[in-house]
Amino acid sequence: MTSSSPGRHTRTTSRRTRSASTVAASGVLAAAGVLAFSPTAPAAPSASSTVQAAGTLGAAAAQSGRYFGTAVAEHYGEADYEGTLNREFSSVVAENAMKWDATEPNRNQFNFSGGDRLVNYAQQRGKYIRGHALVWHAQQPGWVQGLTGDNLRQAMRNHISKVAGHYAGKIDSWDVVNEAFEWDGSRRQSNLQKQLGDGWIEDAFRTAKTADPKAKLCYNDYGTDAINAKSDGIYRMVKDFRARGVPIDCVGFQSHLSQNENLSTYRQNLQRFADLGVHVQITELDVGGSGAAQANVYRQVAQACLAVARCNGITVWGVTDKYSWRARETPLLFNGNYQKKEAYGAVLAALNSAAG
Ligand code: XIL
């Protein structure tokens, strides 16, 4: 085993089949800094515990070699926030702190304070880290927005090199490019697309590969949760990238959903991307709604990921409804008082049943 990253071993290497020595060895390697990242190894099974269900999302997902993560905002000071984050989640992603406006507010002047804090927090607790997002049309600092032509190209390359370079070896998966497609499957007419033409996305991936050769490099988008014109367009791009050796390793499905969502092609859509040889990840899951209807959508998403071998992890877009960007829609697994919602139970049960 060269790495303990989810998805780099098969689903059959579950907690029940991994030997105690393998678990111990990866712990030693991680402690020695040999492994790029070091998630808390699941406890080795004892004869009497082999049918016991895991009690947290992270532990339940680990049984099939997956992570279960959350977006993190700056609420570490709140005991319930940090307690829930630390107990339940095996992976983290910065909700805003690693975006372009936060990390490079002025040209070539970098501010890594928020990202570093999260990375240190996660490393100290053995959690995976997703990086989000290197290049995006939104949350660009003002100085980027007016750039043209080769000036913009150089700014993009420098940003990717410096940010991915700063965190190199610590990030499991990077969202290299975020939200670059329209609903009809064509390219979004962002400043990047208009100034740089179709080649900008592969340029971004090649630059990221040089800066952090170990991270899985992902394309990430929303509204791609079904087989539709938008996911078709992205599928064609990923297929083309794989055929031409452009370094793309993963596709992220944000999955900002509602409880009325039609998920009839959700699993099939994940599978067709996985069949291109990339990992697939649910990257920003939240489901507007409540009660059984909300729980049912969460359950279906978890089951779909579990049914696709290359779906190596799920991230929800926040710990608690209180701080959700969609707070009024109460879309997360813990309510504003950090109580587990019905959706929490549905996800936990799905993760546990997949492990058996
Ligand atoms: C959102 C954050 O949750 C908000 O705090 C911020 O004000 C705007 O961005 N798609 C993405 C995420 O890729 O980065 C967005 O996060 C939500 C939609």
10-residue mean pLDDT profile of the chain (356 residues): values are 42 35 34 35 45 91 98 93 98 98 98 98 98 98 98 99 98 99 98 98 99 98 98 98 98 98 97 98 99 98 98 98 98 98 98 81
Q: Which residue is associated with the tokens 């303990």?
A: 4
- Set 88, 104, 284, 329: catalytic member: 284
Give the integer Cα–Cα distance in Å for 60 and 353: 9
74 lines ligand 1 (CB under 6 A): no
- The protein residue whose alpha carbon is closest to atom 4 in ligand 1 is 325
pTM over 0.85: yes
Give the integer Cα–Cα distance in Å for 71 and 91: 9
Listed residue (133, 69, 77) closest to 104, CA to CA: 133
338 lines ligand 1 (CB under 6 A): no
- Structural contact between residues 91 and 57, judged by C-beta atoms closer than 8 angstroms: no
Ligand 1 probe mutation, 175, 251, 284, most atoms within 8 A of CB: 284
325 lines ligand 1 (CB under 6 A): yes
- The protein residue whose alpha carbon is closest to atom 15 in ligand 1 is 95
Give the pLDDT of residue 52: 80
- Structural contact between residues 94 and 127, judged by C-beta atoms closer than 8 angstroms: no
Give the integer Cα–Cα distance in Å for 206 and 160: 10
Give the pLDDT of residue 355: 66
Give the pLDDT of residue 51: 58
Give the pLDDT of residue 18: 34
Residue 284 bears catalytic tag: yes
Give the pLDDT of residue 6: 55
Phi, psi (rounded to 5 degrees) for 304: -65, -45
- Structural contact between residues 253 and 274, judged by C-beta atoms closer than 8 angstroms: no
- Set 88, 179, 202, 329: catalytic member: 179
Atom of ligand 1 nearest to the CA of 325: 3
Cβ atoms within 10 A of the Cβ of 302, count?
Answer: 28
Residue 202 bears catalytic tag: no
- The protein residue whose alpha carbon is closest to atom 5 in ligand 1 is 325
Give the pLDDT of residue 354: 82
Ligand 1 probe mutation, 74, 95, 140, most atoms within 8 A of CB: 95
Q: Which residue is associated with the tokens 């501010």?
A: 111
Give the pLDDT of residue 50: 53
The bridge status of strand 216-221 relative to strand 250-253 is parallel
The bridge status of strand 128-136 relative to strand 173-178 is parallel
Atom of ligand 1 nearest to the CA of 178: 13
327 lines ligand 1 (CB under 6 A): no
Q: Which residue is associated with the tokens 């083309």?
A: 240
Give the integer Cα–Cα distance in Å for 170 and 216: 11
